[in-house]
A and B are shown apart, each in its own frame.
Chain A
Amino acid sequence: MEAITTFEREVISALFSAKGWVDLYDLHEKYLLSPGQLVHAARKFDQLGIVEWTETRLKLSDHGRHWVLVNRSTLFLQRSPRFWAIDFDGIVREPSHPSEPYMPKIRAVRAKFFREY
């Protein structure tokens, strides 16, 4: 399954919690989901065949309810990749070997350090 975004998770969660039709305007009011996000989510779930879609209302079908249960781990338990976070693997240097000589940046060490120790 394609990676799921936060707003898609919010929509699917609301659909699963509701017993019948969900008015998408309520989701806009509650989570400030934009019409673009809601159309995108509705189109995606419609293509997956898990919802019924009429005007601005969505309903999870019986197959959809089953689909959510089968995919619950991917949908709700896995952490989404943090695309916005700095990739530490790329910027942290390899650890030095203990026997390798190491020279600290003297300028970065406060003068007080030398006076006191």
Chain B
Amino acid sequence: MPRPPEAALITRSPHKLGRSDFEKLFKLVRVQPWLEKRQQELSDVLDICVSLKEQNLLCDLLFRFTYISEDTLSSSLVCMANQICKVWNCVPESTLIVAINRSSFSDSSEVIAWYLKPVLAEFGDWETHNFVSRMRDAVDRIAEGGSIILVDEFVGSGETLAGAISWIQEQLAASNKKAILYACTLASMIGSQAAVAAKDVAYFSSNWLSRGISDHYEGEELEEAKEHMGRLEAELEEQAGNRTLKKYFFGYKRTEALYYLNSGNSCNNVFPIFWWPELKGRKPRKPLLRRV
């Protein structure tokens, strides 16, 4: 059976909008094309607002969302490869590209390591054994004095990355091995630099992101925006599955991320209003972003 055109997935409006709301959403969707196919979800999230100011805040945040489309992903991966090969001068003979994954569960860092394969192939004789999907395997495989590039899709507070660096440093010391560590990500919050700086490791990201509210507004406007977001988050159910909302106010560790990788699992650093699965009273909702 032929597949329907992609555009057939864009739904009609669930209800008639006022002219100003229509114009606002039209401008927003024009800037953020990924919202085209999420008309119902977009409408639902704006319906949570009780005032125009709250709606304007959400529209403004969505307007400034960093959306990594297929094209942006390709160019970002080239930037990462360029940094690894041309700036850090890492060569395939002594370098491992390692996904920051310490568990046995699948993780987006492995996706980035895999995506880097064809991109790095353009830069030299990189081979399958240069790409490692578990950190624990990297210590055994690294040659003495070699380079370990820790890669990840997104770094929020920098806590996980700093923890990963410490862990691998300890493992190297225990194995009596020496290696140069680097961190390279698709996107990172600017705030994560402080956490990683203490580890004395070169850190690169193709997309540096600032906090959605705290780094954008000032003075009274900032206080107002925080108040509005606080009220919006109070509309969400406090417990969803084994997750407690309190932990994710303004995004995990209050990172205030506005980031989404096309077809990816939304990260918990994003404001929960965009991905939390339930509204107060255990009402399930279809959020703009999906997260497991």
The interface size of chain B toward A, counting residues with CB under 8 Å, comes to 29
Partner among A7, A29, A56 whose Cβ is within 8 Å of the Cβ of B26: A56
Given A5-B7, A24-B26, A40-B10, A32 and B2 contact (CB-CB distance below 8 Å) = no
Indicate if A38 sits at the interface (CB-CB under 8 A): yes
The digit string for B22-33, where 1 denotes a CB below 8 A from any CB of A, is 110110111001
Distance (whole angstroms) from the CB of A90 to the closest CB of chain B: 7
Contact A87–B1 (Cβ < 8 Å): yes
Are A56's CB and B10's CB within 8 A? no
Contact B10 A37 (CB under 8 A): yes
Complex CA distance for A5 and B4, rounded to whole angstroms? 9
Binary A-proximity of B16-44 (CB < 8 A = 1, otherwise 0):
11010011011011100101111100100
Nearest chain A CB to B39's CB is how many angstroms away? 4
Q: Which residue of B lies closest to A81 (CB)?
A: B2
Interchain nearest-CB distance for A94 vs B (Å): 19
B8 partner residues in chain A, CB cutoff 8 A: 5, 83
Residue pair B5, A5 in contact (C-beta under 8 Å): yes
Contact flags (1/0) for A85-105 with B, using CB distance below 8 Å? 001001000000000000000
With a CB–CB cut-off of 8 A, which chain A residues contact B17? 28, 35
| Measured CA separation A31–B39 after assembly (Å) | 15
Measured CB to CB, the closest approach of chain B to A16, in angstroms, equals 19
A24 surroundings in chain B (CB, below 8 A): 26
Minimum distance in angstroms from B21 CB to a CB of chain A? 9
C-alpha spacing A32/B40, complex, angstroms: 13
B5 nearest in chain A by CB position: A3
- Contacts A25-B22, A29-B16: A35 and B29 contacting too (C-beta < 8 A)? yes
Min CB distance, B145 to chain A, in Å?
53
Kindly state whether residue B103 has any CB partner on chain A within 8 Å: no
How many chain A residues touch the partner (CB < 8 A)? Answer: 28
**Complex alpha-carbon distance, A43 and B10, angstroms:** 14
Which of chain A's residues has its CB closest to B2's CB?
A: A81
B129 at interface (Cβ–Cβ under 8 A)? no
Contact B12 A37 (CB under 8 A): yes
Decide if A7 touches B19 in the complex (CB within 8 Å): no
Could you tell me if A28 and B22 are in contact, using CB atoms closer than 8 angstroms?
yes
Complex Cα distance, B21 from A25, in Å, reads 10
- Check B11 against A34 for contact (C-beta < 8 Å): yes
Residues of B within 8 A of A25 (CB): 19, 22-23
Highest count of chain A CB atoms <10 Å: which of B8, B15, B25, B37: B8
Contact B36–A39 (Cβ < 8 Å): yes
Which of chain A's residues have a CB closer than 8 A to the CB of B1? 83, 87, 90
**Is B216's beta carbon under 8 Å from chain A?**
no
How many Å lie between the Cα of A55 and that of B19 in the bound state?
13
Within 8 A of A (CB), among B245-283: none
Q: In the assembly, what is the distance between CA of A38 and CA of B29, in Å?
A: 10
Q: Let me know if A116 is at the binding interface, CB within 8 A.
A: no
B243 within 8 A of A: no
User: Which A residues from 30 to 66 make CB contacts under 8 A with B?
Assistant: 31-40, 43-44, 55-56
- Complex alpha-carbon distance, A5 and B184, angstroms: 42
Contact B13 A33 (CB under 8 A): yes
Q: Using a CB–CB distance below 8 Å, which chain B residues touch chain A?
A: 1-5, 7-8, 10-13, 15-17, 19, 22-23, 25-26, 28-30, 33, 35-39, 42
Q: List 11 A-B contacts (CB under 8 A).
A: A25-B22, A28-B22, A31-B12, A36-B10, A37-B36, A37-B39, A40-B7, A56-B23, A83-B2, A83-B3, A90-B1
The 7 lowest CB-CB distance pairs between A and B, nearest first, are A83-B4, A36-B36, A35-B25, A34-B39, A34-B13, A36-B39, A35-B26
